[in-house]
Each structure stands twice: as structure tokens, then as C-alpha cells.
Amino acid sequence: MNSPKPKTIQTMKPETAAKKLGVLLSATPAEFQAGVVSRDELNELQSTPPAWLADLRRNGPHPKQVVAAKLGVSISGLIRGGITEPLTTAEIDALKAENPEWLERERSIQAETRNEALRLKQR
């Protein structure tokens, strides 16, 4: 008879966990950066985020994929617009209010890309 194998705990690097949480690793607490995160710990962080995580999600600094989503552009569009560093929510809001030419252009490119993808999907 085969005895059941003990269940192994699935873990991930802090970089992976930060990406899944949508936060910048360098802005997380030192103990988060230093350890490994189990799947259960990640689920717990997502379902009931501690104060530091809620604050990071609310105020930033945000990683490029979050900045791009908040601005409605692609990551490539951010780079073309000269945005290469993480931004805070206040900086993102200021950019939206300023609405520079590059941001308008990149938003229209993103909208065209979405429309084309939708058109192809409906075929």
C-alpha cells in the first residue's frame, strides 16, 4: 500500500508575491522582502490586507503595470512618454489632470488596440 505523501507547502519569492499583490517590492516592509511567501500567506494578504499593504495600494509608489493601468496606457506607452520610475497616486492624478499630449496619444493607441482585439475576438 502506498502511504500518502505529505503535502508540500507552495512558496514564492517576495518579488513574485509583490507582483501578484500589485505593489512595488522596494516599498514593502523589510520582513516581507527578506522571506518567502506561501500560497496561504498570499491568499491571506489578498483577502485581509494589513495596513502597510492597503496604504501601498492606495498611495503607492506603484509598479509600472499599475501606473499603466491607472493611466489607461500600455507599459510601452509609459516608456515612450518618458515614465520609467514608479509613481505615487498623487503623481498619477497630477498627470491625469495635466493630460499631456503623449498621454492622450497613448490612450488613443490603447483604445484602438482594445477595439481591434475585440473585433478579432468576435470573428
What is the spatial distance between Cα 21 and Cα 33, in angstroms, rounded to a whole number?
13
Residue 105 near residue 99 (C-beta atoms within 8 A)? no
What is the spatial distance between Cα 72 and Cα 104, in angstroms, rounded to a whole number?
10
pLDDT at 3: 64
Peptide bond before 61: cis, by omega within 30 degrees of 0?
yes
Query: Model confidence over 16-63: pLDDT tens digits?
Result: 999 999 999 999 999 889 888 889 899 999 999 999 999 999 998 999
Question: Taking the CB of residue 51, how many other CB atoms lie within 10 A of it?
Answer: 7
pTM of the model: 0.77
Cβ-based neighbours of 75, under 8 Å, separated by 6 or more: 64, 65, 68
Residue 109 near residue 76 (C-beta atoms within 8 A)? no
Query: Model confidence over 64-120: pLDDT tens digits?
Result: 999 999 999 999 999 999 999 999 999 999 999 999 999 999 999 999 988 888 888
